[in-house]
Amino acid sequence: MKEIWQALKNYFRRLDKALLLFCAAAAAFSLVLLYSEVKAGFLEMSRLKMQLLAGGMGLVAMFVMTLISYRLLAKLLFVHLPITLGLVLVTFTSLPIVYQPPGSDDTAWLRVGSFSLQPSELLKISFILTFALHLSKVREHMTKPLHVLLLCIHGAVPCLLIYMQGDMGSALVFFFIFLCMIFTAGLQWRYILAGIGAMGALVPIIWYSGSFPDYLRNRILVLQDVENSTLAEAYHQQVGRRILGSGEIFGKGLFSDDLNYVFAIHNDFILAHIGQTLGFVGCAFVVLLLTAICVKILLTARMSTDPLGCYICSGVFGMFFFQSLINIGMVLGVVPVIGITLPFISYGGTSLLTSYLAMGLVMSVYSFNKKRPGSGY
């Protein structure tokens, strides 16, 4: 019994308690918000129960991953990659489990009974691990064009695959993860400038080629003047911004009788619900909490004793930062609506599970890899 107690003490001593506290606070805050939406009639109780189940599974998975070295997790790519990639490829078939939620622009979901899964969320974890491993192996050859090309191909595969699903938002998340990780690895400026030039040339070609969906083009065009736009694609952002501002400084209260609804208020537009119930103060709290999580991830990357741990953390940071930035920007009307959830806060079982898995990776780096003062990689 004494040995078990000592083992538990050693385990909890190795945990990043501050990061754990921030994540737990965000998840608990989300449940309160979603319960508020249940009481207002915006969300079914069954969905809240599913969120609770996903959160419990994610929490267990995070603690288990903390026990496993991130080096081993990266080397187990032959286990997790076929599963996550295989599930994504299933969405391109005509099997009856392939599912497109009402109001969604893509067929990126699988559904069995009442259980639904978005495989692209889980693929983010595999991509971070495999790309971090790839970067760590070619770190000394980052000046050679062939290795840079292979890294770009590695990053392009999931981006294009998810884009072909019709999920522009998730494709951009993968792209931003790729950028964060390859910049962290020390990509030379000549390649960065070449990439910027290539993207600058491709954007007008894609825009005018007819391959870019009209609804996405309109969502970008409405940003010129969201409030006065007559395009149908502006409607959700117009309503979302009004709901967001209706709470003023302190909000109407979580269980007010004067709450308003906008489509996807439980996930893509959950910030609007925070604004109307808890006001500017509630929105500021969420931004500060997500900022604290991102800062803790970067600090763990900085203390890592090897490149692999640093690259993993930079990938997780890229995922959290970009999703938070775009989700908030969608509600404010400064970026187009592309279906990205707010980490730990929005409703979404797969999204919540992925957030916990990502934190498990960072916790593993924190537990197994700390830099001593004055040491290098």
For residue 3, tell me if it sits in a domain.
no
| 289 close to 151: Cβ distance less than 8 angstroms | no
Cβ-based burial of 221 (10 A; exposed 0-12, middle 13-18, buried ≥19): middle
Phi first, then psi, for residue 98 (nearest 5°) are: -70, 130
Largest CA distance in the chain: 70
Residue 1 has a pLDDT of 66
Task: Look at residue 154 and tell me whether its pLDDT is greater than 80.
Answer: yes
For residue 180, tell me if it sits in a domain.
yes
Tell which residue, 95, 165, 77, 127, has the closest CA to residue 312.
127
Structure tokens at 34: 């979603």
| 243 close to 20: Cβ distance less than 8 angstroms | no
For residue 32, tell me if it sits in a domain.
yes
Task: Look at residue 373 and tell me whether its pLDDT is greater than 80.
Answer: no
Confidence of residue 201 (pLDDT cuts 50, 70, 90): confident
Mean pLDDT calculated for residue range 336-360 = 92
Confidence of residue 376 (pLDDT cuts 50, 70, 90): very low
For residue 194, tell me if it sits in a domain.
yes
Provide the residue type at 241 as one letter.
R
Cβ-based burial of 275 (10 A; exposed 0-12, middle 13-18, buried ≥19): buried
Confidence of residue 179 (pLDDT cuts 50, 70, 90): very high
For residue 7, tell me if it sits in a domain.
no
Residue 129 has a pLDDT of 96
Q: pLDDT (tens digit, 9 = 90+) per residue, 285-294?
A: 999 999 999 9
Q: What percent of the chain has pLDDT over 70?
A: 94
Q: pLDDT (tens digit, 9 = 90+) per residue, 206-264?
A: 777 777 777 788 888 888 888 877 777 888 898 999 999 998 999 999 999 889 998 88
Split into its structural domains, the chain has a count of 1
Helices 349-368 and 307-332: crossing angle in degrees, nearest 10, is 150
For residue 327, tell me if it sits in a domain.
yes
Residue 105 has a pLDDT of 66
Residue 212: domain span: 16-368
User: In angstroms, rounded to a whole number, what is the distance separating the alpha carbons of residues 208 and 187?
Assistant: 31
- Chain centre distance of CA 1: 41
Tell which residue, 182, 193, 174, has the closest CA to residue 125.
174
Task: Look at residue 374 and tell me whether its pLDDT is greater than 50.
Answer: no
Q: What is the DSSP string of 236-253?
A: HHHHHHHHHHHTTTT-S-
Phi first, then psi, for residue 112 (nearest 5°) are: -125, 110
For residue 11, tell me if it sits in a domain.
no
Mean pLDDT calculated for residue range 365-371 = 77
User: In angstroms, rounded to a whole number, what is the distance separating the alpha carbons of residues 74 and 205?
Assistant: 37
pTM listed for this prediction: 0.92
